[in-house]
Structure 1
Amino acid sequence: MRVTQPNADTSTEGAPTDAPRATRAAKVGEQKLISILVPMYNEEQMIDLFFDRMEEALRGLDCRFEFICVNDGSRDRTHEMLLKRAAQDARIVVINLTRNFGKEAALTAALDFSSGDAVIPIDADLQDPPDLIAQFIAKWREGYDVVYGVRRQRLADTFGKRTTAGAFYGLFNQLSDVKIPADAGDYRLMDRSVVENIKRLPERNRFMKGLFAWVGGRSTAIEFARQTRAAGESKWNYWRLWNFALEGITSFSTAPLKIWSYVGLGVAVIGCLFAAYLMVLVVVRGVDVPGYASIMVAVLVLGGLQLLSLGLIGEYIGRVYMETKQRPAYLVADVTGLKVRPLRQRAPLPENSAHEG
């Protein structure tokens, strides 16, 4: 694994700085608390493997740790197995959501309930190596606000998935003022100041990679090879990835809406030129121009463009509609092992079902 420190001087994550603001060396006898955030959906095959690997990776680190595990409406024994683990390990907090709200909402819940000096989101499938946590903490102690992992190799991904992922990052960075480093996922360390800024953001439709980049902070990257999934099956298919990409672009850019103004102008200019050409043929050369074929082509092309533009506008209107409802991003069924109630949360805790340790 190689540490990458770009040398641009800016406050955005897309172009991290080469020097941290100040070091975070712990005082004598003081141990920082790190919150490990783990959204889970149907991960019963991974739970024991995950915690065993985490135990190995965290052994010997001069920090205290808590695990904020969010059960995102799993249909298998994920919640039951998490409760069993929490009974054996006081560091584990289990947040059980009322249904499946999606990974972004589950990660939002984990952020809301975390209390560490820094947080590290990580997937339970172990594709992102836990061994990298030691390097994250070392760079954070040098003074960086954000230390994010960049996938140098994507061993588990097909050629199609690698290609579409690269196309998405390229398109997103072209259309949006917020730049996301290519091949950077959710796996990162964020200082508490960054977490509090993220928690202040009110939107319900949440594209976390974009939000992480939007809040900024002094950042640096560490490259790693993304591994194959240790057990179980991926929850992501191409349709879900497409919707995820659409969510990201429409959440951080209005460029697709502006593009249609230029498309309309271009079509109008082409239409005028074509009309002038037909007039020349009829008036000057006396050519009898059949109109049926050209009319059909014009109707189909313009009709297709109009439907496409209406669909795009509908995506934005739909997101505005959902935001105006002000529904919480998630709802909590019960909580196990929580030591301190969060100062800011998006949904009230059910008093009759929360189990605080």
Structure 2
Amino acid sequence: MRLSIVTTLYRSASTIDEFCRRIFAAAETIADDIELIVVNDGSPDDSLDLVLARQRRDPRIVVVDLSRNFGHHKAIMTGLAEATGDLVFLIDSDLEEEPELLLAFYRRWLQNDCDVVFGVQEARRGGIVERVTGALFFSFIDVLSDEPVPRNLVIARLMNRDFVRALVRHRDREFLILHLWQLTGFRQVPVTVRKLSSSPSTYSLAMRIEMAVKYLTTTSTRILHLILYAGIAIFALSLVTIGFFLTRYLFSGIGVDGFTSLIISIWFFGGSTTLILGIIGIYVANILSETKRRPYTVVRHIYRAERIAAAGASTVHRLQRDRAIDSDVPR
């Protein structure tokens, strides 16, 4: 069995050596043929140099160096597109999720009733503010999205080749990977895990709002239906209001001050129109991004070491390829 392990680099200099040591130790107990795919997502520290130094000692490491920072989820999809294993284990390299989770996930996968084993936190980390904003984030999405979003997912998951092949065929340019996991389907089973770090999440409130907007405007049509319903409600309310003031004027002679009613009407309808056009504008912007068909990441180099036997000796060659990763081309 060939096992691929996929991870990403971003400010990972302090953890990458220990991560490699522990993940290989775990992987060697279940597979003989192993590759570790490390995607450098434009890390500003010396993470890339450290992993390249380790690759010179261990040719099982494949390093995908992106041309800049494209974002965590897009870097993950790039790494998954490079994976060739019968099983693919995805995990972050920051050691908040233990590399030894591979063994627990593999034991669960051996029960032969699933295609994916994924991790779920036993409890959300962080302080009261972070937990409250996290709960509001998911509640907001649940109300406005077409489908509910699973709570407390972690990155760590073990996937078979069929699932990975189907996952990387998605053509979305703007996405949250948890939605693609859910959309891809297959038989997925959860395993409760514990994140070791109790430090606050790296996702700030602004980033969570941005993620929520991106998720909703790239996956949900419910908002567009709500806009239609809001327009109908505003129209109906205006008819009722006009009828009320007209009736009061006819039967009691009490009119409405023209300036006050005019300004209120302008503010109300102007604000409503601006809000609706803004929402529709986000949808249009997403459509524009998708129709451009740009690659969602650009790879500067792929460092792949291959053992080549020649005259009884083993030589390590590094191959560097310039290319763009495009999810339209299945791997």
Q: TM-score with structure 1 length normalisation?
A: 0.80
Offset from partner CA, 1:203-244 (integer Å, 9 cap, x none) = 2112211111111011111112222179xx965322222212
2:268 is the alignment partner of 1:301 = yes
Structure 1 match to 2:162: 193
Structure 2: segments with no counterpart, 5+ residues: 308-319, 324-331
Distance of aligned partners of 1:109 and 1:214 in 2 relative to their CA distance in 1, 3 Å threshold: same
Measured in 1, the distance between the counterparts of 2:249 and 2:97 equals 68
The match for 1:350 is 322
Amino acid at match of 1:226: K
SS of alignment partner, residue 123 of structure 2: strand
Matches within 5 A, 1:89-238: 89-143=58-112, 144-155=114-125, 157-228=126-197, 235-238=202-205
Structure 2 residue 47 is matched with structure 1 residue 78: yes
Q: Does 1:46 align with 2:21?
A: no
The structure 2 residue matched to 1:314, chosen from 248, 273, 281, is: 281
1:250 aligns with 2:217: yes
Conservation of the 8 A alpha-carbon contact between 1:178 and 1:214:
no
The alpha-carbon deviation at position 46 of structure 1 amounts to 2.1
Q: Distance in 2 between matches of 1:51 and 1:130?
A: 9
**Distance change (3 Å), C-alpha of 1:305 and 1:47:** same
Q: 1: CA distance between counterparts of 2:201 and 2:132?
A: 18
Look up the match of 2:329: none
Aligned length: 310
- Matched AA of 1:39: T
Cα offset for 1:296? 2.0
CA shift for structure 1 position 55: 4.3
Say yes or no: does 1:34 pair with 2:3.
Answer: yes
Task: Give, in angstroms, the shift of residue 101 of structure 1.
Answer: 1.0
| 1:111 shift after superposition | 0.7
Secondary structure at 2:297's aligned position in 1? coil
Inter-partner Cα distance in structure 1 for 2:208 and 2:54: 32
CA root-mean-square deviation: 2.4
Q: Is the 8 A contact 1:185 1:209 kept in 2?
A: no
Per-residue CA distance 1:21-69 (angstroms, 9 max, x = gap): xxxxxxxxxxx22222111122212212322443454463355432111
Whether 1:335 and 2:297 are equivalent positions in the alignment is no
Separation (CA, whole Å) in 1 of partners of 2:145 and 2:243: 39
**Offset of residue 308 of structure 1:** 1.4
| Residue type of the alignment partner of 1:153 | A
Q: Separation in 1 of the partners of 2:117 and 2:50?
A: 31
**CA drift at 1:182:** 1.5
Contact kept? 1:69, 1:95, Cα under 8 Å: yes
Q: 1:278 offset after TM fit, Å?
A: 0.8
TM norm structure 2 = 0.86
CA distance in 2, matches of 1:153, 1:63: 35
Q: Deviations over 1:292-328 (max 9, x none)?
A: 2233222222222211111111111111111111111
SS in 2 for 1:337: strand
Q: Residues of 2 paired with 1:171 and 1:146: CA distance?
A: 27
Give the CA deviation at 1:85: 1.4
SS of structure 1 residue aligned to 2:266: helix
- Runs of 5+ in structure 1 lacking a partner? 1-31, 341-347, 352-357
Query: Does the Cα contact within 8 Å between 1:72 and 1:96 map onto a contact in 2?
Result: yes
Identity %: 29
